[in-house]
């Protein structure tokens, strides 16, 4: 089953807040509801958020009362602003909403109903492309993972973080398909425990050998020679290769470099933001204190304690061995290799759209 999908004129998704205890499909009928699903992390992971944003734009078109093109474009622009504000760090969201808005702006169609149909078709195409992209990316990454490797993975980057298959965990799944004997150290990933709740759940279902570890155990494992490769995803990659990912990724990359361990960031080209020269320009989302002071309903800190809760950190490109994309593995200098990969990906989108007769 896909993480997010369109059915019965609604945007539907796995409610990831409830995993692994409950498997529930949530559904949303308004743009405000879709935005809330992103903010409250019913859905998470940059590619999955992007697909959700695309379906949110298709929903906006469906719900619009506009009878002419200008009115529909105004409603779509308002929907894009609402969706983009839901999570500011993940660039896939604004990338996807922009892709649909530009289709409505620049495609000449007879009437607004045709535009509505075209937007839904484009959102579905974007979701389908995500699955194909993730598989290509996974097998690109698997090429640099030796048989018998111990991988250290942070956060959740599997099928739950994408439409299907996943990004960094997609590399793990590709290794499994190739018959490689691998083992994964799974960071719990405080404060929302995406590793413990989601990655462990996905790997156990796939019967891939793994151990869940406390985040602070990673350094010990690296120093004692029990980690061969560190992999994680990204929510935004700057033009120079600096990568924003779940908080704690930077620390892992620094310790890995100290111990001579390769570090690969795995991210589709839709996560690359060539408009940002470096990672210090990436907006870092700050989330509520309750994520740090409690686990579920249980309070683990003194009531009223001051909390600082950045959701992401930035790993400078000098700590990355390579950035795995669907267009191949990018190596330094990243300013050149990332721009080339993004250009190839854009050409592929155009070719796919021509093939669909759009």
Do the Cβ atoms of 163 and 3 come closer than 8 Å?
A: yes
| pLDDT at 358 > cutoff 60 | no
Instruction: Work out whether the CA dihedral 15, 168, 250, 312 comes out positive or negative.
Output: negative
Per-residue exposure over 10-36, b if at least 16 CB sit within 10 Å of its own CB, e if not: bbbbbbbbebeeeeeebebebbebbbe
Span of 212-216, 245-249, 348-352 with lowest mean pLDDT: 348-352
Q: What is the pLDDT of residues 34-86, one digit of tens each?
A: 999 999 999 999 999 999 999 999 999 999 999 999 999 999 999 999 999 99
Q: Does residue 183 sit in helix, strand or coil?
A: strand
- Report how far residue 168's alpha carbon sits from residue 48's, in angstroms, rounded to the nearest whole number: 14
**For residue 1, what pLDDT is reported?**
79
**For residue 353, what pLDDT is reported?**
75
- Residue indicated by tokens 């150290």: 185
Selecting among 235, 242, 273, 313, the annotated active-site residue is 235
pLDDT-based confidence at 110, cuts 50/70/90? confident
The CATH classification number of 4-135 equals 1.20.120.420
**For residue 354, what pLDDT is reported?**
79
Domain 137-347 homologous superfamily, CATH: Translation initiation factor eif-2b; domain 2 (3.40.50.10470)
Do the Cβ atoms of 253 and 320 come closer than 8 Å?
A: yes
Q: 5 has which bridge partners?
A: 12
- Residue indicated by tokens 């990906």: 345
Q: What is the pLDDT of residues 27-45, one digit of tens each?
A: 999 999 999 999 999 999 9
**For residue 52, what pLDDT is reported?**
98
**For residue 227, what pLDDT is reported?**
98
pLDDT-based confidence at 109, cuts 50/70/90? confident
Angle (nearest 5°) at CA 269 between 263 and 273 = 95
Q: Give whole-number Cα distances, 120 to 52, 54, 66, 100, in Å.
A: 12, 8, 16, 9
CA dihedral 192, 193, 198, 200 (to 10 degrees): 180
Mean predicted confidence (pLDDT) in 140-149: 98
Give the Cβ contact number of residue 318 at 10 Å: 13
235 catalytically annotated: yes
Question: Distance of alpha carbon 107 from its chain centroid, rounded?
Answer: 28
Do 137-347 and 4-135 have the same topology in CATH?
no
**For residue 289, what pLDDT is reported?**
96
| pLDDT at 350 > cutoff 90 | no
- Report how far residue 69's alpha carbon sits from residue 108's, in angstroms, rounded to the nearest whole number: 10
Q: 299 has which bridge partners?
A: 294
Q: In the chain, what percentage of residues exceed pLDDT 70? A: 99
Query: Count of alpha carbons within 13 Å of 91, Cβ hemisphere only?
Result: 23
Do the Cβ atoms of 151 and 229 come closer than 8 Å?
A: yes
Domain ranges within the chain, ordered by starting residue: 4-135, 137-347
**For residue 178, what pLDDT is reported?**
97
| pLDDT at 232 > cutoff 80 | yes
Mean predicted confidence (pLDDT) in 191-215: 97
| pLDDT at 175 > cutoff 90 | yes
Mean predicted confidence (pLDDT) in 162-187: 97
């Amino acid at each position: 089953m896909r993480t997010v999908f369109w059915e019965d004129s609604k945007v539907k998704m796995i409610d990831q807040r409830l995993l692994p205890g409950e498997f529930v499909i949530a559904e949303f009928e308004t743009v405000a509801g879709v935005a809330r699903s992103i903010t409250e992390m019913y859905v998470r992971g940059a590619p999955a958020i992007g697909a959700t944003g695309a379906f949110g734009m298709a929903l906006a078109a469906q719900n619009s009362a506009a009878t002419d093109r200008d009115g529909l474009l105004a409603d779509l622009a308002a929907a894009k602003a609402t969706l983009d504000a839901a999570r500011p760090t993940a660039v896939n969201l604004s990338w996807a909403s922009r892709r649909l808005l530009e289709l409505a702006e620049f495609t000449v169609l007879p009437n607004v109903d045709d535009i509505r149909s075209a937007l839904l078709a484009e959102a579905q195409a974007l979701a389908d492309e995500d699955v194909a992209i993730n598989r290509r990316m996974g097998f690109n990454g698997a090429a640099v993972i030796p048989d018998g490797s111990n991988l250290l993975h942070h956060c959740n980057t599997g099928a739950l973080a994408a439409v299907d298959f996943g990004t960094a965990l997609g590399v793990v799944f590709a290794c499994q398909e190739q018959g490689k004997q691998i083992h994964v150290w799974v960071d719990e990933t405080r404060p929302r425990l995406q590793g413990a709740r989601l990655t462990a759940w996905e790997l156990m279902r796939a019967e891939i050998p793994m151990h869940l570890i406390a985040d602070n155990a990673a350094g010990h494992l690296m120093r004692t020679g029990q980690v061969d490769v560190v992999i994680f995803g990204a929510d935004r990659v700057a033009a120079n290769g600096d990568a924003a990912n779940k908080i704690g990724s930077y620390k892992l990359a620094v310790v890995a470099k100290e111990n001579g361990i390769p570090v690969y960031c795995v991210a589709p080209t839709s996560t690359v933001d060539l408009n940002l020269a470096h990672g210090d320009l990436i907006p870092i989302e700050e989330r509520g204190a309750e994520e740090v002071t409690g686990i579920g309903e249980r309070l683990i800190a003194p009531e009223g304690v001051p909390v600082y809760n950045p959701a992401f950190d930035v790993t400078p490109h000098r700590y990355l061995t390579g950035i795995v994309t669907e267009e191949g593995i990018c190596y330094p200098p990243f300013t050149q290799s990332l721009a080339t990969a993004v250009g190839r990906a854009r050409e592929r989108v155009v070719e796919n759209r021509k093939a669909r007769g759009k």
